Structure 1
Amino acid sequence: MDEAATTKLDVVLFPWLAFGHMIPYLELAKRLAAWGHAVTFLSTPRNVARQPPVPADLSPRLRLVTLPPPTSTADVPPEKNELIKKAADGLAAPFAAFLEGAVAGGRRPDRLIIDFCHRWLPPIADEHKVPCAAFLIADFVVPPKWCPSWPPAVAYRRHEARWAVGAFERNASGIIERTRFTIYRSCGEVEPGAFALLTNLFRKPAFPAGVLLHPDPANDDSSSRSGGVRSESVIYVALGSEAPVTANNLQELALGLELAGVRFLWALRKPGGMSMHSADVAELLPAGFENRTRGRGLVWSGWVTQVAVLAHGAVGAFLTHCGWGSTIESLVFGRPLVMLPFVVDQGLIARTMAERGVGVEVARDEGDGSFGRECIAAAVRRVMVEEEGNVFESNAARLKRPFGDQRRQDQYMYELVGYLKRYSDGRC
């Protein structure tokens, strides 16, 4: 695949509007630009404004381009996400104008890399003879018969299956059928056999992009641990930017952390994913909670650089919603997990990680997904305090090796660029 290093591509990436999608798409864009390819990252004005500045060495090759409307999924509560989907459909005309202008200006993209939701995009791309690939950042109550190798526990709970059916039944996009291959943020060492399975399932090639996370060695002290004692470590708590968390969820989570008796750092977001002022925190937490946990716990309502926190040697575990991005970030640093999934693929990821022995899932009601403080405390103590936690820590450290093998991760990117080139010029 010498062409991956010599032939330069012009690639356009267009993610779904949620941060959990934009972040890996932007990481992929940076990797491609670092290899010398021209990359355009498309999103709405508000989303582009929220992205970190493009590194100076990549700015000649990576550009962020805005399309209306000026919104993101973080601006709309979860129960109104259908409005976002309708708004996203309104991006079809601006995208068509963008692509028409690019082609007319002599800059026809070699490849469009698109997300699960853009059902209207492949026909526009076909019009302009630009091939598409789908980049899917992650993939009801029993494992499907066509996948006999799945452990029986890796399946949706009843309340998750109900959500999944409702979410996808009315919004099936046919994206996979209109692309030549699919790309996944993963690797074979982490998900053995997954790419062969996906290739057979979709009847087109499935390729890994690797984990798309390059830890800064200067800031990675994850191999050190304060005093080397788990009971003196801190559990980092964060449920993502857009998890549909209720006020009652936050109350029970807080009381569970208090009951567990461990040290914690909680990056707290207001229900619905909206940012909040520190004055709002007291309204969401149980009365007196911050005073009772003062000295061993901190609730922070401002921005948290999650990778930097997980890299810190004092962190002993991560209480997470199990979004794929957060899961990767935790395992890159070998952190065991306390898992509290809510929607989409999070339940399947949690059960898969439990099967891998890197943590425990919080027990919940099978029907409605509710949980109580005792269940939070029990899961936290299993990972942070009890003897079983040593096993979780050891297994997480073992998974850290393939995630952190930078030479292998660079090889995935090298191979992916070769696939993009071969498939864009029609040789495959």
Structure 2
Amino acid sequence: MAASRHTELAKAAATPSLHVVVFPWLAFGHMIPFLELSKRLAMRGHAVTFVSTPRNAARLGAIPPALSAHVRVVTLHLPAVDGLPEGAESTADVPPEMVGLLKKAFDGLATPFAGLVADACSTGAGEAAATAAAAVRFSRKPDWIILDFAQNWIWPIAEEHKIPCAVFLIVTAAMISFIGTKEVNLAHPRTTTEDYMVPPPWIPFPSTLAYRGHEAEWIANIFRPNASGVSDADRFWDLQRPCCRLIVYRSCPEAEPRLFPLLTELFARPAVPAGLLMPADGGHITYSDESFAPAIQWLDEQPERSVIYVALGSEAPVTADHVRELAHGLELSGVRFLWALRPPSGGAHHAGALLPDGFESRVAARGLGLVCTDWVPQVRVLAHGAVGAFLTHCGWGSTVESFRFGHPLVMLPFVVDQSLIAQAMTARGIGVEVARNYDDGSFHRDAVAAAVRRVMVEEESREYTRKAKQLQEVLMDKVQQELYLDELVGYLHRYK
């Protein structure tokens, strides 16, 4: 950014406070960074109304007392939808095949959200707040609505009340570049799986922006209607309305070079980096210290950087076969591991029941590893001195957490932007992917063992660690990361 532009935005960040309504899609990988963005805005003196459903709000935990006067959480009750389990309020509550139904229920929030906005735009409206000052902050008309990719029904509400909107995207800039606009997709239609296995023609420089085999099948599905009756791509493409002034990314040019100018040009509105938004506490659902105490004790007993932490997220479409091959591979590698094992999607079985017979007793007898089937505080584990690498599905949130500690990666991507992230991290030399069959997504235990050993014990492991530490130094520049947020506030003032 030019110096004059930089100064202009920094000055704008210091102007009077805003009232911002923040409304994420019902997935914890979305809600956590949206809540972190809300906290960062509140720390700068702005009022934030954070909207979600009752169960999700409870699971996200309380707003820190220091910010409670600036952030209020408003809950809207999710309507019942045939086929959606009772009490399901997030993607963590349903298998992948039911996410379309969850989107259908989410669409049912249009009317109550319209009522919330109308009340906020009325004189003296808004929920009662803790203090008179807080009441003033929240009773006034919102200056902005910051929404997710999914709420294509918000645009008429925003237009009626003349409220500008910003879309906040928690996936990578790389994935949005790959998706492109509706116009470029009409000009360059992708009609076969193979069309998604090459970089799109609107990427003007050499890139790894392409999917492989089974991954391409998944990405193709976002362009097709799901059980909600609307495709994810069509939901997203609706943002090209006059009231959508900005597209904000949980990313930055240091993490994803060359993409921000391209996205600004493609979507004809500023592509604004919010930085990586690393929560101080990892931003996860609250957990019991007692339940994790044995794992911390085990880690405390291990040599420095001798353990690989293994976690494939809470919502990756991991099958029973994946669990078994991964278990055998970790055992074959001979490398110490701590495995945060979640049940496969659908949750029909307790996660531990899917492990090979005798696996836990064998690895325990060798002092080789520990399997945790309760919630694991991921940032706390990654920060531990015994951890030397991270075997991950390459969800963007988990990858960002790995940047914080400079860990090299063993990568096993599944869906969304995970493949693009894995390819980008491989190109940057900070880890290796587990070799797999890209026709069906399967992988073999020998490939797991080989990848783990390459990153943890073989000669090349030093180079992976060195490059991961270099990337950590660049991306964990706190001054630069906070400056991105100041500049975002500057954009909010300039474009409202």
Q: Within 5 A, what are the aligned runs for 1:24-173?
A: 24-69=33-78, 71-104=89-122, 105=125, 106-138=139-171, 139=175, 140-151=196-207, 153-170=208-225, 171=231, 172-173=234-235
Match of 2:413 in 1: 341
Work out the CA distance in 2 between the residues paired with 1:356 and 1:76: 35
How much has 1:97 moved relative to structure 2? 1.1
Indicate if the aligned counterparts of 1:43 and 1:65 stay in contact, CA closer than 8 A: yes
How much has 1:145 moved relative to structure 2? 2.2
Please, which of 296, 299, 309 is the counterpart of residue 236 of structure 1?
309
Deviations along 1:393-418, whole A, 9 cap, x unmatched?
Answer: 11110110122111111111111001
Match of 1:180 in 2: 245
Alignment-mate amino acid for residue 42 of structure 1: V
Match of 2:461 in 1: 389
Partner of 1:317, secondary structure, is: strand
Match of 1:255 in 2: 328
Work out the CA distance in 1 between the residues paired with 2:246 and 2:45: 23
Q: Within 5 A, what are the aligned runs for 1:314-393?
A: 314-393=386-465
Match of 1:265 in 2: 338
TM-score w.r.t. the length of structure 2 is: 0.80
Change (3 A) 1:237 1:371: same
Match of 1:222 in 2: none
Alignment-mate amino acid for residue 266 of structure 2: L
Alignment-mate amino acid for residue 90 of structure 2: S
How much has 1:226 moved relative to structure 2? 9.1
TM-score w.r.t. the length of structure 1 is: 0.92
Comparing 379-388 with 62-71, which one deviates more in the overlay? 62-71
Indicate if the aligned counterparts of 2:152 and 2:239 stay in contact, CA closer than 8 A: no
Indicate if the aligned counterparts of 1:226 and 1:314 stay in contact, CA closer than 8 A: yes
Match of 1:220 in 2: none
Deviations along 1:44-83, whole A, 9 cap, x unmatched?
Answer: 1111110021110000101111112151111111122111
Alignment-mate amino acid for residue 236 of structure 1: Y
Please, which of 2, 12, 36 is the counterpart of residue 3 of structure 1?
12
Partner of 1:364, secondary structure, is: coil
Q: Which runs of 5+ in 1 are unaligned?
A: 217-224
How much has 1:176 moved relative to structure 2? 2.8
Alignment-mate amino acid for residue 191 of structure 1: E
How much has 1:250 moved relative to structure 2? 0.7
Partner of 2:197, secondary structure, is: coil
Alignment-mate amino acid for residue 289 of structure 1: F
Work out the CA distance in 1 between the residues paired with 2:448 and 2:431: 13
Work out the CA distance in 1 between the residues paired with 2:114 and 2:301: 58
How much has 1:333 moved relative to structure 2? 0.9
Indicate if the aligned counterparts of 1:242 and 1:273 stay in contact, CA closer than 8 A: no
How much has 1:261 moved relative to structure 2? 0.9
Match of 2:264 in 1: 199
Indicate if the aligned counterparts of 2:404 and 2:476 stay in contact, CA closer than 8 A: yes
Indicate if the aligned counterparts of 2:36 and 2:279 stay in contact, CA closer than 8 A: no
Q: 4+ residue runs of structure 1 moved beyond 6 angstroms?
A: 225-230
Indicate if the aligned counterparts of 1:43 and 1:67 stay in contact, CA closer than 8 A: yes
Change (3 A) 1:275 1:383: farther
Indicate if the aligned counterparts of 1:112 and 1:133 stay in contact, CA closer than 8 A: yes
How much has 1:229 moved relative to structure 2? 7.6
Q: Pairwise CA RMSD of aligned residues?
A: 1.9
Comparing 139-148 with 296-305, which one deviates more in the overlay? 139-148
Work out the CA distance in 2 between the residues paired with 1:116 and 1:128: 20
Comparing 165-174 with 249-258, which one deviates more in the overlay? 165-174
